[in-house]
Amino acid sequence: MVALPASNAEFDALVGSLTRTYHLLTNLSDRLHGGEGVTTGIRSVLLLLAREGPMTLSQIAEHRAVSRQFIQRMGADLIARGWVAAEPNPRHKRSPKLVLTPTGWSVTDAIQRREASLGPTIFDKLTGLDFGSTRGTLDQLNDALATHLAACTESHDPRRAGCK
């Protein structure tokens, strides 16, 4: 294993913690919602649409940092389930916006109720934490990563660090 400078070691530890948190949250989400056919990815898209309103596939993909094709497949599944509908986009005829249907809103409400029930067992135990500061740190990290990835895409230079 390569010895990292102290700042890199701290970053590596942070990434390790984030990875563990991501997997724990995914496991919890699958246990809470899996019986309803709601994967972690579906949950994410439904709650995004509930929070932000109608969005194009590209907007959803950008928000989730995944490919548009991945969201296109998920969107087709959500449309087939009747949880979202594709509505015309006045700004772009070939890029409809996905919008929650009444059934999709019911599914989203059920997701939020199940997650709210975790308060006494998990979230009420997280006392004294500064969630605003933590979110600010994660937002800065997300911005830095997104900027780096955008530069990779724009430069098309595989020699640029982390751009293979």
**Same structural domain for residues 104 and 150?**
no
* One domain, residues 77 and 142: no
For 160, the domain range is 129-164
Query: Do 53 and 107 fall into the same domain?
Result: yes
Whether residue 159 lies inside any domain: the answer is: yes
- Pick 152 or 16 by higher pLDDT: 16
Residue 20 φ then ψ, to 5°? -60, -45
Does residue 105 sit in the same domain as residue 139? no
82-102 pLDDT, tens per residue? 999 999 988 887 889 999 999
In this structure, the answer to whether residues 74 and 152 fall within a common structural domain is: no
Handedness of CA 145, 146, 151, 154 (dihedral sign): positive
Task: In whole angstroms, give the CA distance from residue 60 to residue 58.
Answer: 5
Does the predicted model carry a pTM greater than 0.85? no
- Which position has the token pair 């995004």? 48
